[in-house]
Structure 1
């Protein structure tokens, strides 16, 4: 790791702090924080505090990292290293496009998770478990120890070097993207992916089905939900989502919005509407 040898004492201290903090990313999975967002912010605080001198700049950086983030543990440190390099460049170059930091995060989550999930969950964990189980089947407590060692030692090493690798390729990576015009494409693509992700999350997680019926003499009752589906499948969940976004853009407290939806759901349930 020639890069690490060339780092200043302050750089090494900052990167060590980022490394140890990065283990907390998976501990912040809540709907309000957009999956790992709080963990990402906590991980990058040493970077933000070091490279940005004013409270306004630091606040902008923190808000920038409240966006949705979810990538395979251990390998996601490559993104953290890359983001660290980009934050440094953003603090030094007034012409740097800060939105590209979010774009790079969004564009790398999928590809890296595809690699990370396949390796860590599909290969490394299975191999470690099979060896550990075979040892444990003989009645030896070493089975559990071997399993933990075979999985966690490689994971720890990859987690460590992924951070420095991401940081080392950061400057060249961004420079090449700008020179080739790829940054504009990347930013546009990440925006499209974000919209697609939001649409799929809305369709799969926001549910509303009314049980209201209109009684018609001499025929089957008319189910309101059937007509809503004919008009636009998922029109009510989509409307609720759009209203929620509108309220958030109007700076309505997220807790007020969440509890308002809960109370509305309870009232509609008690009234037999849904």
Structure 2
């Protein structure tokens, strides 16, 4: 990548350290007011320790800056880590640099980057990986969980790595350009749309409900209830169950209770001979 050509050996060592440390960013949580600030501080520590090596007071102030609230989708959050490293370098070199802009820019990126990261990694890639993995696992193939992990983690790790370098190389000018030309809004919308398409496809192909109920007819074939369900709306009951689960999630019902409810419902329907 062209953006890596001017990065020195020392910079690469520092950025690689940030990359590897970024995997622990969600390992700790400092309450609702700071969220994952400790993980962020640990991740960018190679930059802070390097640029303020001979300035203990400056290093202390840098660490104090990053005790503020932090929470970004971790696979894209490394862009902010690289960006912060770049800005901390300028702050250490230029006495008139506005240090408050570092925290301001980091905070302003949390929402947009999380929107993109959640849409792409949680709404698209994870859904695709789960679809492939579940399909193979349902057939008894050991490749199910293996492919799930590979399909999700390979792009996630590569994105995490290159965004670390991108944030450091491009600096604050990149985010200004992507906002100015409207790319951020377009990318967010496209990722959200693709995620909804994938969720709809998985609902249609993987949520099953076929009723065994039938109405006996003297001297003729019994009328199967499932036939009328299909004529009315193909996949009507699976769609209804999915929408019910979504509604319960929107009402902040714990996902474990929803899973338990679906399990109990399926057992009761099976025992009654409905499905």
Q: TM-score normalised to the size of structure 1? A: 0.62
Distance (whole Å) between structure 2 residues aligned to residue 28 and residue 68 of structure 1: 13
Mapping for residues 89-238 of structure 1, pairs under 5 Å? 89-170=90-171, 172-173=173-174
Does 2:79 correspond to 1:78? yes
TM-superposed deviation, 1:96: 0.6
Distance (whole Å) between structure 2 residues aligned to residue 5 and residue 104 of structure 1: 25
Larger radius of gyration between Structure 1 and Structure 2? 2
Q: 2:67 — aligned with what?
A: 66
TM-superposed deviation, 1:5: 3.0
Classify 1:140/1:22 alpha carbon distance in 2 versus 1 (closer, same or farther; 3 Å).
Answer: same
String of CA shifts for 1:206-263, please: whole Å, max 9, x gaps.
xxxxxxxxxxxxxxxxxxxxxxxxxxxxxxxxxxxxxxxxxxxxxxxxxxxxxxxxxx
Q: Is the 1:24–1:39 Cα contact (8 Å) retained in structure 2?
A: yes
TM-superposed deviation, 1:32: 7.3
Q: 2:225 — aligned with what?
A: none
String of CA shifts for 1:72-98, please: whole Å, max 9, x gaps.
011011111111110011111111100
Distance (whole Å) between structure 2 residues aligned to residue 173 and residue 136 of structure 1: 42
Distance (whole Å) between structure 2 residues aligned to residue 49 and residue 71 of structure 1: 23
Which ranges of 4 or more aligned residues in structure 1 deviate by more than 4 Å? Answer: none
Does 2:49 correspond to 1:49? yes
Q: 2:257 — aligned with what?
A: none
Q: Is the 1:33–1:66 Cα contact (8 Å) retained in structure 2?
A: no
Classify 1:28/1:90 alpha carbon distance in 2 versus 1 (closer, same or farther; 3 Å).
Answer: same
String of CA shifts for 1:134-169, please: whole Å, max 9, x gaps.
111110111000000000001001111111111111
Partner-residue secondary structure (3-state), 1:95: coil
Q: Is the 1:83–1:167 Cα contact (8 Å) retained in structure 2?
A: yes
Distance (whole Å) between structure 2 residues aligned to residue 79 and residue 115 of structure 1: 14
TM-superposed deviation, 1:44: 1.0
Q: 1:17 — aligned with what?
A: 17
TM-superposed deviation, 1:33: 7.1
Q: 2:258 — aligned with what?
A: none
Q: 2:5 — aligned with what?
A: 5
Q: 2:35 — aligned with what?
A: 35
String of CA shifts for 1:169-218, please: whole Å, max 9, x gaps.
106459x79xxxxxxxxxxxxxxxxxxxxxxxxxxxxxxxxxxxxxxxxx
Unaligned runs of 5+ in 1: 178-274
TM-superposed deviation, 1:29: 1.7
Q: TM-score normalised to the size of structure 2? A: 0.61
Distance (whole Å) between structure 2 residues aligned to residue 103 and residue 171 of structure 1: 11
Unaligned runs of 5+ in 2: 178-275
CA RMSD across the alignment: 1.9
Distance (whole Å) between structure 1 residues aligned to residue 123 and residue 2 of structure 2: 32
Q: Is the 2:3–2:170 Cα contact (8 Å) retained in structure 1?
A: no
Classify 1:173/1:158 alpha carbon distance in 2 versus 1 (closer, same or farther; 3 Å).
Answer: closer
